[in-house]
């Protein structure tokens, strides 16, 4: 098949979607030389079929790319999760707003990618509900009471609730992908002990 036709047809099938070149180059367009693929996308941009969102990231059709579309691209279907103050806001711990939105995602190839006010960090995990809960708990414990505008009662209630789904197996996966500080793991250990939840998190952390 003609390379340009192949890319054009793919764009037609994904109208109003985001296309990350670093992802599709090795999957959808693995038979197309990389430089050729870039030239084709440059040509399609000149024609107004795609529009650059950031380096290597294109939007098909509509020039407007809202936050929901970027979040869907890198978070939905177990691809990632929002962390930092975006996470804290969503679960009612604080109303403090950060200018940046941080995302852990497996849907990028590089270690980090910046798209406008989004900071994407590659984390090689399948983001199941249990993994998301555990990372949420670790993120909260990592910041602790230094969190801007933290609601102490909500902090205590939320950490205790998230701890209920803890498992050593998931902790091993998370700590391999995201290196939290020892002080954070000590907080986790103390919380789990207080809630009488069996765990070997300190031993697992030391092994990793």
Question: What is the rounded distance in angstroms from the CA atom of residue 184 to the CA atom of residue 202?
Answer: 10
List pLDDT tens digits, range 41-84.
999 999 989 998 888 899 988 766 778 888 988 998 899 999 99
Instruction: Just give the CATH number of 3-60.
Output: 1.10.10
pTM tops 0.75, yes or no:
yes
Q: Write down the domain spans for the chain.
A: 3-60, 69-207
Quick one: which of 202, 111, 128, 115 has its CA closest to 170? 128
Mean pLDDT of the chain: 92
Residue 142, judged by CB atoms within 10 A of its CB (0-12, 13-18, 19+), counts as buried
Q: What angle do CA 7, 34, 102 make, to 5 degrees?
A: 85
List pLDDT tens digits, range 77-113.
899 999 999 999 999 899 898 889 999 999 998 899 9
Question: What is the rounded distance in angstroms from the CA atom of residue 75 to the CA atom of residue 135?
Answer: 14
Quote the tokens at residue 112.
């980090």
What share of residues in the chain are helix, strand, coil (percent, to 5)? 50, 15, 35
State the pLDDT at residue 194.
96
Q: How confident is the model at residue 199 (pLDDT cuts 50, 70, 90)?
A: very high
Average pLDDT over residues 153-174: 96
């Amino acid at each position: 098949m003609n390379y340009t036709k192949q890319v054009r047809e793919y764009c037609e099938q994904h109208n109003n979607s985001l296309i990350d070149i670093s992802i599709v180059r090795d999957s959808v367009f693995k038979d197309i030389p990389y430089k050729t693929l870039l030239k084709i996308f440059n040509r399609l941009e000149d024609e107004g079929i795609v529009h650059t969102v950031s380096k290597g990231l294109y939007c098909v059709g509509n020039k407007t790319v809202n936050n929901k579309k970027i979040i869907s691209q890198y978070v939905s279907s177990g691809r990632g999760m929002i962390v930092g103050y975006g996470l804290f806001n969503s679960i009612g711990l604080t109303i403090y707003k950060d200018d940046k939105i941080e995302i852990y995602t497996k849907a990028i190839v590089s270690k980090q990618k910046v798209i406008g006010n989004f900071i994407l960090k590659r984390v090689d995990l399948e983001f199941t509900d249990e993994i998301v809960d555990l990372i949420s708990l670790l993120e909260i414990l990592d910041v602790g009471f230094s969190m801007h505008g933290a609601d102490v009662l909500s902090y205590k209630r939320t950490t205790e609730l998230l701890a209920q789904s803890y498992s050593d197996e998931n902790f091993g996966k998370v700590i391999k992908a995201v290196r939290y500080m020892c002080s954070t793991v000590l907080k986790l250990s103390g919380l789990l002990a207080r809630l009488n939840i069996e765990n070997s998190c300190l031993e697992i952390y030391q092994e990793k």
